[in-house]
């Protein structure tokens, strides 16, 4: 009885799902959704070739250092990096003295770390030390909204992990600012970019609160021997740096993965050769059991004859 009730309930549940599916599909066919500006003019991320791409990728330390410079001079005024400590910069090739100078001299990193005045107990700030994490440029979310047209600039520590297409999305966004095309306004007259926002076809809804951060060649002065500081190059460099902040142990993971793959290949080969060596000459014998066993068969025949049973 319980099984019958369960089957009836299950059939009813499936029937409701089928009816819902039919209603959804019929509504879509009868009245398909109207195209939107976001759907028609949004672009997929550009291709981006970085040294860290692929299963054997490695970081280009010189590029990471240039990316840190771009972040420091262009991005740090609005975006935090609160999952990265200054001491972590050793991972991109800086020595202890260089990290101390970068964090605390005021010549490179100018945002001070929130602190408490030990004499008065009041809130204050101090210069950063290597163990500190990169501080936010704003005291709180209210201050961030007030300075950015009511939008809070996101933290960039994990940005290349948090967005679809990762590094390619960040690079495309930085290099994708342009004037709103006339075709868009012709097709969607109400989709004009609002005042205070900026058109970028790589952003989800086409209009972003952040103005173009990289606007001209030479905006950041690279050192001698570095590539020319074009907008495209600066965007690639800071994107590579953000790939590192999101996954600083990427090279270790790649090395470990390579070792594991090589070990598994060798173990598989040894296992196959061992199998061939052990079983190459072995002959399997299937011993008859039960009624087919000759001894059992003879005993059965004798018992039948003794009892006078035919067959």
According to the model, what pLDDT value does residue 306 have? 80
CB 63 within 8 A of CB 227: no
Q: What is the mean pLDDT for each group of 10 consecutive residues in the chain (311 residues)?
A: 83 85 75 82 95 94 98 96 96 96 88 85 88 94 91 96 96 97 92 94 95 96 94 98 97 95 96 83 60 76 79 64
CB 224 within 8 A of CB 211: no
Q: What is the pTM of this model?
A: 0.81
According to the model, what pLDDT value does residue 282 have? 62
CB 84 within 8 A of CB 133: yes
| Residues whose CB is less than 8 angstroms from the CB of residue 47 and which lie 6 or more positions away in sequence, other chains included | 168
According to the model, what pLDDT value does residue 235 have? 98
CB 223 within 8 A of CB 140: no
CB 220 within 8 A of CB 187: no
- For 122, 149, 177, the CA distances from 173, given in Å and listed in that order, are 41, 19, 7
CB atoms under 10 Å from CB of 104, counted, come to: 19
According to the model, what pLDDT value does residue 117 have? 82
According to the model, what pLDDT value does residue 287 have? 58
According to the model, what pLDDT value does residue 289 have? 66
Kindly report, residue by residue over 238-257, the tens digit of the pLDDT.
999 999 999 999 999 999 99
| Strand runs labelled E in 86-156 | 113-116, 123-126, 133-134
According to the model, what pLDDT value does residue 260 have? 96
End-to-end CA distance of the chain: 49
Q: How far is CA 294 from the centre of its chain?
A: 68
User: Exposed, middle or buried: residue 188 (CB in 10 Å: 0-12, 13-18, 19+)?
Assistant: middle
According to the model, what pLDDT value does residue 292 have? 66
| Residues whose CB is less than 8 angstroms from the CB of residue 166 and which lie 6 or more positions away in sequence, other chains included | 160, 243, 246
According to the model, what pLDDT value does residue 310 have? 73
């Amino acid at each position: 009885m319980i099984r019958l009730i369960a089957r009836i309930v299950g059939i009813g549940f499936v029937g409701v799902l089928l009816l819902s599916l039919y209603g959804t599909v019929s509504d879509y066919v009868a009245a398909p959704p109207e195209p939107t500006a976001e759907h028609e003019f949004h672009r997929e991320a550009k291709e981006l070739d970085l040294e860290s791409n692929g299963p054997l990728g490695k970081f280009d330390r010189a590029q990471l250092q240039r990316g840190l410079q771009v972040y420091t001079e262009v991005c740090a005024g609005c975006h935090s990096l609160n999952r990265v400590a200054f001491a972590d910069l050793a991972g991109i090739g800086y020595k202890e003295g260089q990290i101390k100078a970068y964090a605390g001299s005021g010549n490179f990193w100018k945002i001070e770390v929130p602190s408490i005045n030990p004499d008065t107990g009041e809130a204050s700030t101090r210069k950063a030390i290597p163990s500190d994490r990169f501080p936010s440029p704003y005291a709180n979310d209210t201050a961030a909204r007030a300075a950015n047209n009511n939008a809070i600039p996101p933290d960039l520590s994990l940005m290349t992990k948090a967005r679809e297409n990762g590094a390619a999305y960040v690079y495309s966004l930085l290099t994708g600012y342009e004037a709103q095309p006339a075709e868009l306004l012709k097709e969607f007259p109400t989709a004009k970019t609002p005042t205070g926002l900026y058109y970028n076809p790589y952003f989800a809804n086409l209009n972003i609160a952040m103005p173009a951060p990289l606007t001209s060649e030479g905006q950041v002065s690279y050192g001698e021997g570095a590539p020319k500081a074009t907008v495209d190059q600066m965007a690639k460099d800071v994107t590579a740096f953000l790939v590192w902040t999101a996954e600083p142990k990427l090279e270790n993971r790649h090395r470990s993965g390579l070792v594991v793959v090589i070990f598994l290949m060798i173990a598989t080969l040894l296992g196959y050769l061992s199998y061939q060596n052990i079983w190459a000459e072995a002959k399997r014998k299937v011993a008859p059991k039960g009624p087919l066993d000759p001894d059992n068969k003879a005993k059965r025949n004798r018992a039948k004859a003794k009892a006078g049973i035919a067959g």
